[in-house]
Chains A and B, each alone.
Chain A
Amino acid sequence: MNVSLTVNGAAHTVDVDEDTPLLWVLRERCGLTGTKFGCGVGACGACTVHVDGEPARSCSIPVVAVQGRSITTIEGLGAERLHRVQRAWIEYQVPQCGYCQSGMIMAAVALLQRIPQPTDADIDAAITNLCRCGTYERVRRAIHAAAAADLTRADHG
């Protein structure tokens, strides 16, 4: 069936099986490979994108369920200028292999939208993405830094 999506502000119409997970539509049909496959069951968060601004694990959402909704992937996050979370990620040299980091960054951005000044407990509860390289300490520090940047620079970008 034909499914219409808005991805990073651009309209896409793709002919796919309606049960195809959003992840595979993004990767194989929209050419957006920044969103990663890790488990296929919504357990690792490597596939995290935003659907209407809310974090969602795209490997477990049938594409038909997001028809007509606005989807943001890592490629759309800092298209013009790096998002402050991405900048914090560079400043704190967070990634190692980097494979989980697209999802990790999307989860962090969503957290800061919901809680601009998260505590450690907020971060623990919200960031349930898996990182096999063990970058968690830096993720935590970078989220706090990005939150602080919001305060000092009134930077919402």
Chain B
Amino acid sequence: MGKWTRRAVLAAGGLLGGGLVLGVGGLAIAPNRLGVRRKEEELPQLTTWLKIAPDNSVIVVVPHCDMGQGVPTALAMMAAEELDADWSLVRVEEAPADPIYANGYLVPVFVPQLADPPALFARGLDYTSFKLSQLMGLQVTGGSSSVRGTGQFGMRMAGAAARSMLLQAAAQLWQVDVRDCTAKLSRVVHEASGRSATFGELADAAARLDPPHRPPLKARTEYSIVGRPVPRLDIPAKVNGSAKYAIDVSLPDMLYATIEAVPIFGAKIGSVDSQAAESLPGVRRIVRLENAVAVVADSYWRALKALRALQITYTTNETALADSASLFERIASTINEDAGKAIDKAGDAARTLERASRVIEAEYRVPFVAHATLEPMCATAKVDGESCEVWTGVQDPLAARKVAADALGIDPKNVVVHNHLLGGGFGRRLPGCHDFVEQAVKIAKELSPTPVKLIWSREEDLRHDFYRPAVLARFRAALDDSGRPIVWSSKFNGLLAGDRSAPRCPYDIEHRDIRAYDVAHAVRVGAWRSVAHSEHGFFTESFIDELAYAAQEDPLQFRLKLLKNPRHRRVLERAAELAGWGQPLEPGLGRGVAVVESFGSVVAEIAEVSVRDRAIKVERVLAVVDCGEVIHPDTAAAQIEGGIVFGLSAALFDAITIRGGAVEQANFFDYRLPKLADAPRTVVEFLKSDAPMGGLGEPGVPPIAPAVANAVFAATGIRLRELPLRLPG
């Protein structure tokens, strides 16, 4: 018995109609059969593609979705940089959801240095959330991994390999030494003879060459595209209404569906009285699924009206009935009685606590929160015999393909997924959360072969999310006589599988005891932008602030004294400089700081908060980021700006509460998101850094809630330990 392994692979070939196509991906290799390809699963999964057409255009095929993070542009920049392409000739396409996505006559070769991440990258890789071997060959967009994964290992390699082949093709054509040929702005030039040719002219000849084993990559000092704020390729279509999201799909004869799933977690549908609904105009079918009822009509509005006319009863399982208050009681007793699962243990925390002269304790809570993407869940499906097409917007179209195939009991090969722009993702559209795709194909099967577009109402979206878990955390620390913490202990529930880095203490404290507890409940949970860092950033950075005040030290200096990692110290010091830390603020204002490392990036945020009539308003936020190399500075800043607002939603506004086993909130009236008037002025700065590349989609989120809570304490002397932050009346 051995483990399946993956090797990176590079493949090149000709394009139909002329040109060069080149792919980078992974190859799964069975144990003890290295390099021997016998099964279909062992075919290379080439997900990163570069095409050079005879008209000299460059098409970069990106295996990630666009959910607003700007990744398609950043990835294309990385490929174009290594290719020495003319940026104005570069276009981006999203890869289709196909595990092979390869032409039969491609020539694959192994790229040995990619079998293991190069040392530079390996240093900072967080293997719990980011595994090269998993990323290669998958089509997931998540874990803030696109640029540091696909970009570093796929795009750069594809661009460099294509460039090598084009240079080689030119040298052969002109019968000159390849070392005398140079590539620039999508042309190969041989200066001595004055000859030159476009990449497009050379593409056919290049396609007949074997791809290189080790294409040379550029040094950062040679960059002409990467690191510059080029205009994003997706934005023009997003200002004139032409950008197409899944909800915009229109097919001939298409019908519309909307749905109501059982609102009580764990309950089942009892009876459905559809008599009134069926008699309404335009209604074509009432479809009963295992735990949901859908109405199919000739318009969304008619489907919605009929859905509201249905009389549905539920059979509830008594144990499923729960409310948020009783859940927190259950968590509180579990983490008292049970031994839990050790996340980090050092020294002897229990004994040191017993003997310590100063023990500080605090309990924090965060509620369930919803992703609330502005585009509600939707998918269009057309089922025809043993085949199916799906039009949707997901963070992993390959997973959606499998969901559709399983729902219909057909081979995934017979399912085509057309992925669209996502009207927000934030984790809601990750694999494991494609319930709306499953529903859409099951509904479409009943209407086969007519295509059906399923659109969830906002109410359905808020009540059937995969929520960030509700978490209760209990902290204990001991200070020595000098005020230095010597024990850090925490117990909490709700840690999603595999996410063990978030609860660790970044401060240099000798005795540590960090334990996670499982508390089962019926509410669906999932990854919410920054996953466990969103709550653990709040806990850890609030508690260290409490310790600073207990030690009667400045919260910034206290942190700096206890941080060993120079990246953490540098971002803190720079943020303090930008904020004028230590300078007095007007009365009613407070300043709070937090620093959190997540997804390979370190972010310090300082919030300036005003408190008037118990209302908390965040006036200004200064964010300093160390994410290693920055590919696209403006998009990078946009991700941090957006992350701050997203984090503020949980810090100040959002809570999903459960009563009678169901979500209480219905729409944006009672699930309030930040508006423009709530958005702080933000200053974002990136430090020059040689650290391994980190992610950016998520790391802006975790520091904001604690920075705001700490600022509220500075302004009022009131320590708030529960999100959303509310001052007592």
Residues of A within 8 A of B (CB): 16-17, 19-21, 24, 27-28, 31-41, 43-44, 46, 73-75, 77-78, 82, 86, 89-90, 93-102, 105, 123-125, 127-140
Could you give, for residues 639-660 of chain B, a 1 whenever the CB lies within 8 Å of some chain A CB and a 0 otherwise? 0011111100000000000000
Alpha-carbon distance A21/B299, docked complex (angstroms): 11
Q: Does B450 contact A (CB under 8 A)?
A: no
Alpha-carbon distance A40/B462, docked complex (angstroms): 13
A-B contact count (CB 8 A): 183
Alpha-carbon distance A28/B282, docked complex (angstroms): 14
Q: Are B458 and A38 in contact (CB under 8 A)?
A: yes
Q: Does B677 contact A (CB under 8 A)?
A: yes
28 contacting pairs across A/B (C-beta < 8 A): A17-B282, A36-B247, A37-B455, A38-B668, A40-B304, A40-B458, A40-B667, A75-B240, A77-B240, A89-B239, A90-B235, A93-B232, A95-B234, A95-B238, A96-B638, A98-B68, A98-B243, A98-B421, A99-B375, A99-B424, A105-B239, A132-B424, A134-B641, A134-B643, A135-B641, A136-B674, A137-B682, A139-B676
Max chain A CB contacts within 10 Å: which of B232, B239, B250, B458? B239
Q: Are B642 and A93 in contact (CB under 8 A)?
A: no
| Residues of chain B in range 432-456 having any CB-CB distance to chain A below 8 Å | 455
Q: How far is the CB of B94 from chain A (nearest CB, A)?
A: 14
Alpha-carbon distance A140/B591, docked complex (angstroms): 24
Q: Are B300 and A44 in contact (CB under 8 A)?
A: no
Q: Are A37 and B376 in contact (CB under 8 A)?
A: yes
Q: Are B676 and A39 in contact (CB under 8 A)?
A: no
Per DSSP, chain A at the interface is loop
In the complex, chain A residues whose CB is within 8 Å of the CB of B68: 95-98, 133
Q: Does B15 contact A (CB under 8 A)?
A: no
In the complex, chain A residues whose CB is within 8 Å of the CB of B634: 93
Q: Are B675 and A130 in contact (CB under 8 A)?
A: yes
| Residues of chain B in range 676-717 having any CB-CB distance to chain A below 8 Å | 676-679, 681-682
Interface size class of B (residues with CB under 8 A): 35 or more
Alpha-carbon distance A124/B675, docked complex (angstroms): 8
Alpha-carbon distance A32/B237, docked complex (angstroms): 14
Given contacts A134-B641, A137-B681, 15 further A-B contacts (CB under 8 A): A31-B250, A36-B375, A37-B300, A40-B304, A43-B668, A82-B240, A96-B69, A131-B374, A133-B642, A134-B646, A135-B638, A135-B642, A136-B645, A139-B676, A140-B679
Alpha-carbon distance A35/B247, docked complex (angstroms): 11
Alpha-carbon distance A90/B424, docked complex (angstroms): 19
Q: Does B241 contact A (CB under 8 A)?
A: yes
A39 to B, closest residue via Cβ: B458
Q: Are A136 and B424 in contact (CB under 8 A)?
A: no
A103 to B, closest residue via Cβ: B374
Known: A99-B374, A105-B239. Is A132-B673 also a contact (CB below 8 A)?
A: yes
Known: A36-B375, A38-B375, A39-B668. Is A82-B239 also a contact (CB below 8 A)?
A: yes
Q: Does B138 contact A (CB under 8 A)?
A: no
B459 to A, closest residue via Cβ: A40
Q: Are A134 and B645 in contact (CB under 8 A)?
A: yes
In the complex, chain B residues whose CB is within 8 Å of the CB of A130: 374, 668, 673, 675
Q: Does B121 contact A (CB under 8 A)?
A: no
Q: How far is the CB of A122 from chain B (nearest CB, A)?
A: 11
In the complex, chain A residues whose CB is within 8 Å of the CB of B234: 95, 98
Q: Are B638 and A75 in contact (CB under 8 A)?
A: no
Max chain A CB contacts within 10 Å: which of B231, B281, B425, B458? B458
B668 to A, closest residue via Cβ: A43
In the complex, chain A residues whose CB is within 8 Å of the CB of B250: 31, 33
Alpha-carbon distance A138/B449, docked complex (angstroms): 45
Q: Are A96 and B642 in contact (CB under 8 A)?
A: yes
Known: A98-B68, A98-B243, A132-B673. Is A46-B374 also a contact (CB below 8 A)?
A: yes
In the complex, chain A residues whose CB is within 8 Å of the CB of B635: 93
Q: Does B319 contact A (CB under 8 A)?
A: no
In the complex, chain A residues whose CB is within 8 Å of the CB of B681: 137
